[in-house]
Amino acid sequence: MLIVLKKGCTEAQQDRIVELIRRRDLEALPVSGPTRTAVCVLGNKGPLEDAGFAHLEGVHEVIRVTRPYKLVSREVQPESSVVSVGNVAIGGAHRPVVMAGPCSVEEADRTIAIAHAAREAGAAVLRGGAFKPRTSPYSFQGLGEEGLEILACARRETGLPVVSEVIDASSARLGARYLDALQIGARNMQNYALLRVIGRMGLPILLKRGLSATLEEWLMAAEYLLAEGTSQVLLCERGIRTFATHSRNTLDLNVVPLARKMSHLPVLVDPSHGVGKRDRVRPLARAALASGAHGLMLEVHTHPDTAYSDAQQTIDVETFEGVVKDASILSQLDPLFGP
């Protein structure tokens, strides 16, 4: 249940509302949006009688929320959220951003060269994996903290903010020292213990959709983050697992317009993991933006064939320039989504 407050609601009135909620053994979570403040009522097992709340002083309206997620929904916040990664604003009416970089962070020279090339070509954020969750325990697991240091160094050299995946509480604490945004990978989307930890760290979070996650489960994972107090969450579609084997995963662009409709959070797309083949990344990147994505996350390398991981889906700088050019043409399309 959402209790929407009047514009002139005083602090004392709000405190009184919160107190009454807590007396009923429920949790009260005030949420301040740009145009209105609401109090989320959490912890109820069944439907709540609202009579008690609708007539309190300072209450504008009581909304029953039937969906299982609340804080991520447009019911709680009708306006689109804008998330800032470093100095880059993502979401709402901002023009689509492109995050680019190697799958794995590589030695400093190469990584910085890639960062320069990506920035020249139009990237707004540098991505690169320092902690790699690999299917095999015997595969290269990333450079760890050394990788984070290299990313931070690349930021100093190029001015690009940096984002990288974290995989547990300890890598998250390290990441928070070096990064502008923390990424939760698809395999950890339902690692709720980790979500709780990083939701409290204050940094923007890029939350990838799990390989077999429904839209609802994805939004609920974001809800875990918002319930910890952050409002800086980016959703990122990266392909789902289906019977189709012609692509590495099945990039599900069907979800983009609906995620934008259901949630105020920005929605990005990662076509590199989605389609998984270098020669098809650019057409799918175009399609992602055309479907309404607020941005792209791409694996880009100055020498793709020598990438430490995911070489088969990493594009070269020239192809990446093409994607940025495409984005500019696609920005002429009428906006289809609300405020």
By CB under 8 A, what part of segment 69-128 binds a copy of itself?
69
Stretch that binds a copy of itself, among 55-63, 106-114, 144-152, 276-284 (CB under 8 A): 276-284
For residues 135 to 174, the per-residue mask of contacts with a copy of itself, x marking binding by CB under 8 A and - elsewhere, is xxxx----------------------------xxx-x---
Of 61, 177, 329, 338, which one interacts with a copy of itself (CB under 8 A)?
A: 329
Q: How far apart are CA 74 and CA 339, in angstroms?
A: 11
Q: How far apart are CA 29 and CA 37, in angstroms?
A: 11
Q: How far apart are CA 72 and CA 48, in angstroms?
A: 21
- Whether residue 316 contacts residue 307, with contact meaning beta carbons closer than 8 Å, is answered with no
Q: Which helix (H) or strand (E) holds 3?
A: strand 2-5
**Which is nearer to a copy of itself, 166 or 300 (by Cβ)?**
166
At 39 the three-state DSSP class reads: strand
**Which is nearer to a copy of itself, 42 or 108 (by Cβ)?**
42
Which 169-228 positions form the footprint of a copy of itself (CB under 8 A)?
169, 171, 187-188, 190-194, 211-212, 214-217, 220, 223-224, 227
Which 37-66 positions form the footprint of a copy of itself (CB under 8 A)?
42-43
Stretch that binds a copy of itself, among 6-14, 74-82, 151-159, 251-259 (CB under 8 A): 251-259
Structure tokens at 90: 């993502």
DSSP structural state of residue 304: G
Q: How far apart are CA 228 and CA 334, in angstroms?
A: 36
Single-letter residue type at 156: R
Single-letter residue type at 237: E
Would strands 59-63 and 2-5 be described as parallel, antiparallel, or unpaired?
Answer: antiparallel
Which 256-275 positions form the footprint of a copy of itself (CB under 8 A)?
256-258, 261, 274-275
Q: Does 243 bind a copy of itself (CB under 8 A)?
A: yes
Stretch that binds a copy of itself, among 173-181, 200-208, 250-258, 310-318 (CB under 8 A): 250-258
Q: Does 311 bind a copy of itself (CB under 8 A)?
A: no
Please state the closest distance from residue 334 (CB atom) to a copy of itself, in A: 7
Of 17, 28, 288, 315, which one interacts with a copy of itself (CB under 8 A)?
A: 288
CB-CB neighbours of 214 under 10 Å: 12
Report helix angle 255-262 to 215-227, nearest 10: 40
Q: How far apart are CA 49 and CA 56, in angstroms?
A: 14
Q: How far apart are CA 7 and CA 112, in angstroms?
A: 50
Stretch that binds a copy of itself, among 4-12, 102-110, 113-121, 327-335 (CB under 8 A): 327-335
Please state the closest distance from residue 187 (CB atom) to a copy of itself, in A: 4
Q: Does 134 bind a copy of itself (CB under 8 A)?
A: yes
**Which is nearer to a copy of itself, 92 or 116 (by Cβ)?**
92
Please state the closest distance from residue 197 (CB atom) to a copy of itself, in A: 8
Please state the closest distance from residue 281 (CB atom) to a copy of itself, in A: 9
Please state the closest distance from residue 195 (CB atom) to a copy of itself, in A: 8
Among candidate residues 145, 240, 129, 143, the one with its CA nearest the CA of residue 184:
129
Please state the closest distance from residue 282 (CB atom) to a copy of itself, in A: 6
Of 11, 49, 244, 318, which one interacts with a copy of itself (CB under 8 A)?
A: 244
Would strands 233-237 and 205-208 be described as parallel, antiparallel, or unpaired?
Answer: parallel
Angle at 167 between CA 74 and CA 116, to 5 degrees: 85
* Total residues interacting with a copy of itself, rule: CB under 8 A: 73
